[in-house]
Amino acid sequence: MQLLDGKKTANDIKEEIAIEVTTLVAKGGKKPHLAAILVGSDGASETYVNAKVKACERVGFDSTLVRFDSDVSEEELLSEIEKINNNLDIDGLIVQLPLPKHIDEMKVTEAISPKKDVDGFHPSNIGRMTLNSPTFLPATPAGILELLERHKVETVGKHCVIVGRSNIVGLPMSILMAQKSYPGNCTVTLTHSRTQNLKKITKTADILIVALGKAEFVTADMVKDGVCIIDVGITRVKSDKTKSGWKLLGDVAFESVKDKCSFITPVPGGVGPMTIAMLLKNTLIAAKSKT
Ligand code: GUN
């Protein structure tokens, strides 16, 4: 079994980005600049956005964090997005999801300029991704592709089973793994909450990507020997074995499954750090596309 070490891979990518920023600035260019909008004070969203801002600092980017109370009107949020769209100094813009119920997420996503949409969530960028045209790939799927590529995981002709059909992970992953490129060229099965006989399907997976948000959902009896597992889940559960009183669990019961795997991502330290690294990579691409 080989660990797909997201922490190390993400650090390698961040170092590569930092070197590019230094070169860009030495040539008289400006630092890439990411703006993030956070609405409300959801603990997980707060943690993610703070990690994104910190990662910007680490690679030499500028960053701007715009905060709104959870009762902000949709109109006010859309007007801030328009302001950032028109701000020539800002290269990339993300609005952390989920948003409060009174705000239409699709309207917000569509309001972000596709040229600054470094999350890759805008319908026109999803369309470009689907057609394999150059675009910003959503950060988590892009991070998974990068993990597979940098660990030279074979994908051609393999059966890739995806559990979960979210717009952020499962759905784009199913498109990317089927594409005529590496990593890709898989036969893909996209499973979800209405799938029948899930275990029968997961047992045939050569590559199993789980993005469901249910702690330790996948157990050893659900996978075959030699499977490559990508675990996207991060659930915080109480623990009396850690100092903080909490621990993070993936969607896969790691200890029971690991000995059957050719490759597996740990949680934490697998897909999570890759998401932030790929967001930085998209922001660098956005900045360079203007020069
Ligand atoms: N919420 C959960 N994941 C993401 C992400 O990748 N980007 C944004 N903007 N919000 C999220």
Give tens-digit pLDDT for 118-138. Answer: 999 999 999 999 999 999 999
What pLDDT band is residue 290 in, cutting at 50, 70 and 90?
confident
- Choosing from 91, 117, 119, 231, the catalytic residue is 119
Percentage of the residues of the chain whose pLDDT score is greater than 70:
100
Question: Residue 189's pLDDT band (boundaries 50, 70, 90)?
Answer: very high
Nearest atom (ligand 1) to Cα of 138: 6
97 alpha carbon – ligand 1 mean position (Å): 5
Query: Mean pLDDT throughout 177-204?
Result: 98
Is residue 111 pLDDT above 90, yes or no? yes
Residues at CB less than 6 angstroms from ligand 1 = 94-97, 119, 139-140, 168, 275
Task: Answer yes or no: 5 catalytic.
Answer: no
Residue 264, SS3? strand
Q: Categorize the per-residue pLDDT at 97 as very low, low, confident or very high, splitting at 50, 70 and 90.
A: very high
Write the residue with the smallest CA distance to atom 11 of ligand 1. 97
Nearest CA to ligand 1 atom 1: 97
Alpha carbon of 28 to ligand 1 centroid (Å): 32
Distances (CA, A) of 31 to 17, 116, 176, 186, 285: 11, 15, 30, 38, 12
State the closest ligand 1 atom to the C-alpha of 140, by its place in the atom list counted from 1.
Answer: 6
Residue 196 clears pLDDT 90, i.e. is over it: yes
| Residue located nearest, by CA, to atom 9 of ligand 1 | 96
Question: What does the mean pLDDT of the chain come to?
Answer: 97
Q: List the domains of the chain with CATH numbers.
A: 28-118 (3.40.50.10860), 139-272 (3.40.50.720)
Ligand 1 atom with the smallest distance to the CA of 98 is 1
Phi-psi region for residue 105, left (φ > 0), alpha (ψ -120 to 50) or beta? alpha
Catalytic residue among 14, 52, 116, 281: 52
* CA angle, 89 then 93 then 99, to 5°: 145
Q: What is the spatial distance between Cα 85 and Cα 88, in angstroms, rounded to a whole number?
A: 8
Average pLDDT (273-288) is: 97
To test the pocket of ligand 1, the residue of 45, 49, 52, 97 to mutate (highest count of ligand atoms within 8 Å of its CB) is 97
- Nearest partner of 265 among 232, 234, 217, judged by Cα: 232
Per-residue pLDDT reduced to its tens digit, 235-257 = 999 999 999 999 999 999 999 99
For 150, residues 6+ apart whose C-beta sits below 8 A from its C-beta are 9, 12
| 52 in active site | yes
- Answer whether 102's CB lies under 8 Å from 109's CB: no
Q: Which of 5, 14, 91, 96 is catalytic?
A: 96
What value does the mean pLDDT take over residues 24-49?
A: 95
Determine phi and psi for 170, rounding to 5 degrees: -60, -50
Reported as a pLDDT band with limits 50, 70 and 90, residue 291 is low
Kindly write down the DSSP assignment for every residue of 37-76, as one continuous string: EEES--HHHHHHHHHHHHHHHHHT-EEEEEEE-TT--HHH
Mean pLDDT of 158-176: 98
pLDDT for the residue numbered 267: 97
How far is C-alpha 259 from the chain's CA centre? 26
Which pair of tokens denotes residue 67?
Answer: 């905060």
Residue 31 falls in the annotated catalytic set: no
Average of pLDDT values for 32-53? 95
